[in-house]
Amino acid sequence: MRPARHYSELIVWQLADEIRRDVFKLTKRPPFARDFKAQGQADDAINSVCRNIAEGFACETHGEFATFLVYSVRSLNEVQDAMRGAEEKGYADAKDLALIRQLFKRLFPALGRFIAYLRRTRNRRRNTQKTSPKDGSPRTDQRQSNRTDERRPTRTDKRKDDRTNQRQNNRTDSRKEDRTASRQNPRTDTLKGDRTDKR
């Protein structure tokens, strides 16, 4: 199973987000919606659960991620108590809260297991590369490979050209020297022969 590339792929975030939708439906209803303080506290608490999971996902190590999940557990406790308070005030009844409480029973142990795993591997570094919103592929790797491909051929071609030019120059110089020497030698031999005959 491949690791999650986005926080929304995590089971714990999906469960928290499902609770958030149900809590928002409940807090929009009167008389809950008229109690601005209670409504704000409940909404902020469930938002905190989801946001800490999302923020922790971007951490570099498992240990740091586990710390943010602990914050999510604390906020989840606050949501649970807010729902209890809403029931006491008559804003909701047991039937309204049944689904939310079932999700509580799933999310608390899921967070606990996830935190335990992250703490066992606390020094392991996580892959936090950003992904493309369309296909989920890493952006950084693609850009680096394109840059590398553009740079390497230029350097290689330049080195090859330098080596080729150097070899050609060496060969040309050697041929010129050989021709010059061959031209000079016959003249020298002729002059020497003339002098000998005169003597």
The one-letter amino acid code at 80 reads Q
Parent domain of 157: 153-199
CA distance 138 to 9: 16
- On whether both 54 and 97 belong to a single domain, the answer is yes
- Joined together, the tokens standing for residue 58 give 């971007």
Q: Is the pLDDT of residue 138 over 90?
A: no
- Joined together, the tokens standing for residue 167 give 């070899």
Number of domains within the chain: 2
CA distance 9 to 17: 11
Q: Residue 125 pairs with which residues in a beta bridge?
A: 61
pLDDT value for 140: 43
- On whether both 119 and 178 belong to a single domain, the answer is no
Which CATH number is 102's domain given? 1.20.1440.60
- On whether both 106 and 63 belong to a single domain, the answer is yes
- The Cβ-side half-sphere exposure at 134, using a 13 Å CA radius, reads 1
- On whether both 100 and 38 belong to a single domain, the answer is yes
pTM of the predicted protein model: 0.64
CB 13 within 8 A of CB 56: no
Taking residues 38-50, what's their average pLDDT?
98
